[in-house]
């Protein structure tokens, strides 16, 4: 059963990765770099500050930092436990896939997918009542994580599992945030 899942995952990766072309490589390299998302993060920070004020924004940032640190540490622990090679390092496929970027670290599960989905889930749960179209925030982790397949760094299952972990952590941190907020910021 596991072999069938891995075979499907590899075949889906080869298909999705093969959709790329040199014309778009630079675009996807920009997308995959977290620093290039800084304008979006700064815009979000400004909008959040305008809606909930300084103290609650700082409190929210504290929880985002905790969320990212926890997600990142869990991701690394799983990667070093599972030790799945990245597609770019898989000798069975790396001769015919598009490798735009290469890493020596392990693949399962995607930290980009987990962190971005955890942050998006948490922010959505906290702020969706303040912003009319805040659900569009979920486009960020979708685009961000697809870049990892495009570049040859992650299999689709790495992304999917990263999303599931991210959603779970985002939800759990949100619940902790609500309890802490009720204690320190009573209405």
pLDDT at residue 176 greater than cutoff 70: yes
Distance CA 103, CA 89 (A): 8
Residues 33-89 have pLDDT tens digits of 889 989 989 999 999 999 989 999 999 999 999 999 999 999 999 999 999 999 999
Instruction: Tell me what pLDDT residue 187 has.
Output: 65
Instruction: Tell me what pLDDT residue 46 has.
Output: 95
Residues 126-149 have pLDDT tens digits of 998 888 888 898 999 999 889 999
Mean residue pLDDT across the chain? 92
pLDDT at residue 120 greater than cutoff 80: yes
As a 3-state breakdown, the chain gives helix, strand, coil percent values, each rounded to 5, of: 75, 0, 25
List of residues 6+ apart from 25 with CB closer than 8 A: 100
pLDDT at residue 150 greater than cutoff 90: yes
Confidence of residue 28 (pLDDT cuts 50, 70, 90): very high
- The residue ranges of every structural domain in the chain are 40-184
Q: Is the pTM of this model over 0.75?
A: yes
């Amino acid at each position: 059963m596991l072999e069938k899942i891995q075979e499907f995952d590899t075949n889906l990766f080869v298909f999705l990765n093969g959709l790329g072309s040199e014309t778009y490589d630079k675009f996807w390299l920009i997308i995959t770099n977290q620093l290039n998302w800084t304008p979006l993060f700064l815009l979000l920070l400004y909008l959040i500050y305008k809606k909930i004020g300084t103290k609650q924004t700082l409190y929210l940032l504290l929880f985002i930092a905790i969320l990212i640190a926890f997600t990142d540490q869990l991701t690394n622990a799983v990667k070093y436990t599972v030790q799945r090679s990245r597609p770019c390092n898989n000798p069975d496929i790396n001769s015919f896939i598009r490798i735009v970027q290469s890493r020596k670290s392990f693949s399962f599960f995607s930290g980009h997918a987990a962190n971005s989905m955890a942050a998006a889930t948490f922010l959505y749960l906290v702020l969706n009542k303040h912003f009319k179209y805040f659900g569009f925030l979920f486009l960020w982790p979708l685009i961000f994580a697809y870049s990892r397949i495009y570049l040859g760094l992650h299999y689709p299952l790495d992304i999917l599992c990263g999303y599931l972990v991210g959603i779970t952590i985002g939800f759990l941190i949100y619940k902790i945030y609500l309890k802490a907020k009720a204690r320190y910021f009573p209405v």
